[in-house]
Amino acid sequence: MEEAPFWGPGGSRSLRCPFLSLPQIKSNRDKETKIFYSITGQGADTPPEGVFIIEKETGWMKVTRPLDRESIEKYHLLSHAVSENGKPVEEPMDITVTVTDQNDHKPEFTQEVFRGAVIEGATPGTSVMQVAATDADDAIETYNGVVAYSILSQAPQEPHPQMFAINRATGTISVIASGLDRERVGEYTLILQAADLDGLGLTTTASAVIEITDANDNLPEFTKSTYSAEVAENKEGVEVVRLAVTDKDERHSPAWRTVYSIVQGDSGQLFSISTDPTTNEGIVRTAKALDFEARKQFALQVAVANEVPFAVKLPTSTATVTINVQDENEAPVFAPPVLRVTVSEGSPVGQEIGAYTAHDPDTMQPQKIRYLLGDEPAQWLNVHRETGILTTKAPLDRESPLVLNNTYVAMVLAVDDGTPTATGTGTLLLTLLDVNDHGPEPDRRKFTVCNYDPAPQLLHISDKDLPPHTSPFQAELLHNSEENWAVEMDSEGETAVLKLLKPLKQETYEVYLRLLDQQGKSHLTILRATVCECQGEVDACPEGQMAIVGAPIILAILGAVLALLILLLLLLLFARRRKVTKEPLLLPEDDTRDNIFYYGEEGGGEEDQDYDLSQLHRGLDPRPDVLLRNDVVPTPQPAPQYRSRPANPNEIGNFICEVREAGWAPPALRLLVPGWAAQQDLLPPVSRPSHPRPRVTSVCVCVCVTFNKVRGTRTLASSAEPCFKAATVASGFPVGPTPYSTKFGVGLGAAFTSGRPRPDQS
């Protein structure tokens, strides 16, 4: 492929002038065949599509719209050359289009208003803040994006019109003149400019606000050099006096906020001083209770400073505070404040425990003291009103819930007769020694146990006394409880194991358990044991359930009942087999009787069956025709009773199936069984004989179903006899039964007659 003019090395060229004609792509094989050119890549067939196109036959590239370097700086394309039949004639060639920059964007400050601060009195060269501006144009190969900073104006112009300067390249603002004073000018506003082309191109502006912060160049001073105040004795944490100061620095700044200290006159650290954050005043308070009898007046020297150090070395402001202590009626004081006394519990009423007295610190005014009991929750003690002697008025109990860690706490009061009266408080700690006054007791008094395979009941024993008046314990049963129960202690002697010895009626029983400690102190406990008809371990008796018997007992009972049933059935079967005489299912073929003939063929044809069957029966109503009378009142009679059909017609079906398998019934004899699904053949069809057959004009089939039950059987003769009589009358021939029996107890009686029935017979 021939390269167009100005085609760069490696088959690529950098196009730095937008909207100008692009080079022509041309193959050196265009003389041999017709060449078609195309381009692919970014700006051609991939987004942004259609920026570059190429003339298909000439190979000239064109730009369809303006290019934006800030969006896409370079485009990478591939040129293709193919013949008329679409086969490539050249390898694809890379084309890189570089968009050169134009100064079409002005600088933009990152903020509209920049804020900074500098301390007053700052020296020239002190950095204040830095501003920044950006330009989307190229700042590497051109100056279109190179930004230069400058200060256009300063307000106010005091004490100099140019107090600040800005670095042209970095945008750093710094102090260039001395004389910054917050008390004179607290804030400066600068108008800043940013210009591209290194200050010669497009411009933009912003403002910078510089706050002059306060420096501690003004000392706080007391408004007065001396202060005086009075305070009552024995008052701790009360405000004594407030000290006011003035400070010209900025209010609520570290250079304005004050810090006070007592530099002299408070060796005992009886006072404290703090700062009011709102008013900046110093507040003097008592740190401890003052004693008028010990010291009546204090002279304090107080100094004041700021939170931050002074900018220059200046003398500290001080003031003198005189405090006078006022006398107050002080409460009597117990010595010691806490009195510990040891005494045995159970001491007799009226026993003296000790004396607990107080003295009055008011030496200037003698007073009398009387004693009272304050907080004494158990009401076990008495105190003498004048002497302070403590005695018992009730037995002391170490196990009382009011005694913690063997110690009983009571408050004793001492009241003087001053004006107003004052009350002193002393604490009495009575340590109670243990005596063996409690017997051991179980942790629970109610439990539930099963009658069968009962679980042992574990009773944990406890004693309120202390060793050696505790474990190991002993246990025994009283009042005939040992007849049904047994008790023993575990190896450590702290748990009683109670067992049920025999089954009892389901109810609640009382078990008398006596427990003894190591010293023989006993206690009788009545346990309530609920016995349930159950087995094993249980928490509560099952509701509405019978006694649960063990699996072996249940199996034994079921086995015995089953054995009795089997024996009874065998006896009944044996007795029945001895009474019933079996008869052959089929008579021998040579056995000829008067009313039964054997024919080895099917029944008659259509000509033999062409008669009205309704003449043979009366339909479903078996009642005879009766003349009805309307001249007399009919006698009430019970409704006719019909014989019940077999409970299970399937047994007749089973009989028919067995007959078919046996093959002894007359051929093609069909039986309609009430309640059965369909008519069934008694025997499978047999081939027709070749000899002539007798004509059977009437057939009577009587079926008697008997069930072999223990309660009795029904005989064939009694059931089929009416049928045979009707057949004899209808045919004119004597008809008799032919019994057949199966294991289901089904009998069949059949009779066949030859000849047609008489017209007068129905």
Domains recognised in the chain with CATH numbers: 21-99 (2.60.40.60), 108-213 (2.60.40.60), 221-326 (2.60.40.60), 333-433 (2.60.40.60), 441-536 (2.60.40.60)
Tell me the average pLDDT across 341-361.
Answer: 88
Rounded CA gap, 21 and 2, in Å? Answer: 18
pLDDT > 90? residue 177: yes
In this prediction, residue 35 carries a pLDDT of 86
Is pLDDT at 94 greater than 80 in this prediction? yes
Under the banding of pLDDT at 50, 70 and 90, the label for residue 128 is very high
Instruction: Look at residue 685 in the predicted model and tell me its pLDDT.
Output: 42
Q: Are strands 317-326 and 226-232 parallel, antiparallel or unpaired?
A: parallel
The rounded distance, in Å, linking the Cα atoms of 634 and 645 is 30
Better-predicted residue by pLDDT, 569 or 718: 569
Instruction: Name, of 35-39, 250-254, 319-323, 504-508, the range with top average pLDDT.
Output: 319-323
- Does this model's pTM top 0.85? My answer is no
> Which residue do the tokens 């060796």 mark?
267
Nearest Cα neighbor of 531 from 476, 460, 442, 452 is 452
What integer pLDDT is reported at residue 663 of this predicted model?
53
Looking up tokens 């020239």 gives: 124
Confidence of residue 43 (pLDDT cuts 50, 70, 90): confident
Backbone angles phi, psi at 419, to 5 degrees: -125, 110
- Grade residue 701 by pLDDT with cuts at 50, 70 and 90: very low
Question: Of 192-201, 286-295, 366-375, 694-703, where does mean pLDDT reach its minimum?
Answer: 694-703
Q: Quick check: 609 pLDDT over 70?
A: no
pLDDT band at 112 (very low <50, low <70, confident <90, very high): very high
CA end-to-end distance (rounded Å), the chain: 125
Stretch 339-364: mean pLDDT:
87
Q: Which of the residue ranges 81-95, 166-180, 452-466, 509-523 has the most confident prediction, judged by mean pLDDT?
A: 166-180
**Greatest C-alpha distance within the chain:** 166
Cβ atoms of 118 and 165 within 8 Å: the answer is no
Beta strands in 463-507 (DSSP E): 474-478, 485-489, 495-500
Q: Secondary structure of the chain: what % helix, strand, coil (to 5)?
A: 10, 35, 55
Decide if pLDDT at 456 tops 70.
yes
Band the pLDDT of 65: cuts 50, 70, 90. Answer: confident
- Mean per-residue pLDDT, 438-462: 89
Q: What is the dihedral of CA 549, 555, 557, 559, to 10 degrees?
A: 170
Evaluate if residue 334 carries a pLDDT over 70.
yes
Q: Which of 89-98, 268-277, 324-333, 652-661 has the lowest mean pLDDT?
A: 652-661
Residue 679 φ then ψ, to 5°: -70, 140
- Check whether 584 has a pLDDT greater than 70: no
Nearest to 756 by CA among 617, 594, 604, 600: 604
What is the percent of the chain where pLDDT is above 70?
Answer: 72
Residue 17: what pLDDT?
Answer: 43
Instruction: Return the minimum-mean-pLDDT range out of 375-379, 437-441, 532-536.
Output: 437-441
Q: What's the rounded mean pLDDT across residues 523-549?
A: 78
Give the residue from 331, 343, 406 showing the smallest Cα distance to 374: 331
User: What are the distances in angstroms from CA 530 to CA 447, 454, 483, 500, 504?
Assistant: 6, 12, 16, 11, 10
Give the mean pLDDT of the chain: 77
- pLDDT bin (cut points 50, 70, 90) of residue 329 is confident
**What's the pLDDT band for 602 if we cut at 50, 70, 90?**
low
Burial class (CB in 10 A: 0-12, 13-18, 19+), 554: exposed
Question: Which pLDDT score, from 0 to 100, does residue 152 have?
Answer: 94
β partners of residue 67: none
Lowest mean pLDDT among 4-13, 209-218, 652-661, 705-714: 4-13
Q: Is the per-residue pLDDT at 29 higher than 50?
A: yes
Quote the CA–CA distance of 138 and 134 in Å, as a whole number: 11
For 663, residues 6+ apart whose C-beta sits below 8 A from its C-beta are 683, 684
Question: What is the pLDDT, as a whole number, of residue 279?
Answer: 94
Of residues 601 and 414, the one with the higher pLDDT is 414
Q: Which pLDDT belongs to residue 365?
A: 74
pLDDT at residue 96 greater than cutoff 80: yes
Determine phi and psi for 689, rounding to 5 degrees: -75, 155
